[in-house]
């Protein structure tokens, strides 16, 4: 039986979610951009296509969908299979630290555990409210914009080498009405920032080794290579951040940097650095913190 006759049998929201999950598993999709399994991904996409919130009471999952709604849901579910694009690129949006961000293929899809630190005001590490914050390697701007929302008196700079990423970050600055306190600056690591100094530098730079990048699932290949890959040990950009951070941190300032699964590569390069590896309640690891003073005395 041709597949479109089969899909005519799908009548409820629940039917569509179940059908999508089956097709996703059948196709061997990879999940690593907001969900970690086929059912959650199908649920998220189905509810999005139906313009429904994901916290909808379970009762409504039994509702019958109209023919045009079914067509819209199936189009999105099929696109996930045929393009292998992460769901966030298909719908153009993702939530980070409780805020919605526009995303497209010019930027990495936000997923850093740093979001949890922002919502906790970087406690117990940060003393008081920061006046100036730098989100280095900003991509969509998610980290810096979430910092600006969390610290209402802070001036925040978003820096990235990619014009495409800066265009997306500017769209997100505008979306959240933060034009008066947040600016996006083109900069190759610190090179475009002049002598600006900050109380807090937060960064999720590219840190994937070239060998690892070559093995990544198709979903990650839709993300900019520039956002992920950083040389044979993944530490090309991290090295430049460590070198330049002292000149851009104020006394007492902090550098918070993500290296994800590449902690070992970091520790091989900088065994002497007294970094603190941070813990996360909601998952994630590979984020370190170091003070300006410790950078000065150990680099
Ligand atoms: C891992 S993504 C992080 C994006 C965002 N901060 C997040 O957490 O979702 C890394 C970003 O670093 C940028 N980047 C790569 N090389 C850079 C460089 N030399 N100087 C500044 N930014 C760079 C990429 O364009 C990309 O947007």
Report, as an integer, the average pLDDT of 126-155.
97
Give the residues across from 182 on adjacent strands: 156
Q: Give the ligand 1 atom nearest the CA of 207.
A: 1
Average pLDDT in the chain: 96
Nearest CA to ligand 1 atom 14: 137
Distance 284 CA to ligand 1 centre (A): 18
Rounded CA separation 71/73 (Å): 6
**Atom of ligand 1 at shortest distance to CA of 144?**
6
Query: Which string of DSSP letters, residue by residue, matches 117-128?
Result: HHHTTTTTTS-S
Please choose, from the candidates 135, 128, 132, 130, the residue with its C-alpha nearest in 3D space to the C-alpha of residue 114.
135
C-alpha of residue 254 to centroid of ligand 1, in Å: 19
> Which residue has better confidence, 22 or 3?
22
Q: What is the pLDDT of residue 3?
A: 58
**Ligand 1 in reach of 143 Cβ (< 6 A):** yes
pLDDT at 7: 87
> What is the pTM (predicted TM-score) of this model?
0.95
Please report, for residues 143, 179, 257, the alpha-carbon distance to residue 172 in angstroms, rounded to integers and kept in the order given.
11, 10, 22
- Of 55, 45, 43, the C-alpha closest to 18 is 43
| Whole-angstrom distance, CA of residue 165 vs CA of residue 184 | 10
Grade residue 114 by pLDDT with cuts at 50, 70 and 90.
very high
pLDDT digits (tens, 9 = 90+) for 153-165: 999 999 999 999 9
Return d(Cα 119, Cα 44) in angstroms, integer: 23
Please give the structure tokens belonging to residue 173. Answer: 């600055």
Q: What is the mean pLDDT of residues 109-134?
A: 96
Domains of the chain and CATH, by start: 3-91 (1.10.8), 94-298 (3.40.50.150)
| Residue 6 pLDDT | 79
1 pLDDT more than 50: no
Q: Which atom of ligand 1 has the smallest separation from the CA of 164?
A: 25
162 Cα to the center of ligand 1, angstroms: 8
**The predicted structure's pLDDT at residue 4:** 66
Atom number, ligand 1, closest to the C-alpha of residue 189: 20
Structure token digits, residue 138? 């900003």
How many helices and strands, by DSSP H and E, does the chain display?
A: 14, 9
Ligand 1, from 109, 112, 227, 230: best to mutate by most atoms within 8 Å of Cβ? 227
CA distance 189 to 245: 10
Per-residue CA distances from 148 to 55, 100, 142, 173, 246 (Å)? 27, 14, 10, 10, 23
Say if ligand 1 is within 6 A of residue 110 CB.
yes
Q: Evaluate the CA torsion angle 283, 176, 106, 235 in order and state its sign.
A: negative
Burial class (CB in 10 A: 0-12, 13-18, 19+), 81: middle
Side by side, which strands form the sheet with 182-186?
182-186, 155-160, 132-136, 198-203, 249-258, 287-291, 276-277
Tell me the CA–centroid distance for residue 144 and ligand 1, in Å. Answer: 12
Residue 125 scores a pLDDT above 50: yes
Q: Please check whether residue 24 is in contact with residue 17, taking contact to mean a CB–CB distance below 8 angstroms.
A: no
Residue 299: predicted pLDDT: 81
Helix (H) or strand (E) holding 137: none
Residue 2 has pLDDT above 60, yes or no: no
pLDDT tens for residues 50-82? 999 989 999 999 999 999 999 999 999 999 999
């Amino acid at each position: 039986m041709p597949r479109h006759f089969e899909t005519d049998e799908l009548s409820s929201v629940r039917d569509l979610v179940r059908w999508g999950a089956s097709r996703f598993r059948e196709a061997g999709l990879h999940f690593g951009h907001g969900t970690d399994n086929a059912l959650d991904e199908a649920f998220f996409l189905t509810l999005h296509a139906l313009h429904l919130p994901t916290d909808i009471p379970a009762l409504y999952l039994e509702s019958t969908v109209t023919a045009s709604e079914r067509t819209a849901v199936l189009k999105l579910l099929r696109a996930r299979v045929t393009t292998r694009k992460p769901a966030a690129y298909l719908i153009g949006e993702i939530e980070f630290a409780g805020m919605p961000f526009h995303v497209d293929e010019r930027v990495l899809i936000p997923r850093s555990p740093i979001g949890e630190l922002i919502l906790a005001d970087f406690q117990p590490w940060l003393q008081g409210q920061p006046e100036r914050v730098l989100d280095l390697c900003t991509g969509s701007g998610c980290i810096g914009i979430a910092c600006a929302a969390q610290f209402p008196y802070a001036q925040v700079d978003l820096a990235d080498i990619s014009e495409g990423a800066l265009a997306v970050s500017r769209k997100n600055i505008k979306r959240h009405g933060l034009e008066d306190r947040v600016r996006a600056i083109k900069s190759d690591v610190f090179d475009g920032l002049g002598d600006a100094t900050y109380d807090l530098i937060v960064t999720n730079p590219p840190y994937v080794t070239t060998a690892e990048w070559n093995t990544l699932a198709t979903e990650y290949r839709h993300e900019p290579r520039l956002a992920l890959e950083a040389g044979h040990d993944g530490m090309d950009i991290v090295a430049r951040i460590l070198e330049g951070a002292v000149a851009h941190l104020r006394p007492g300032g902090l550098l918070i940097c993500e290296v994800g699964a590449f902690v070992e590569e970091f520790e091989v390069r900088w065994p002497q650095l007294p970094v603190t590896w941070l813990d996360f309640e909601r998952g994630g690891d590979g984020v370190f913190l170091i003070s300006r003073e410790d950078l000065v005395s150990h680099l």
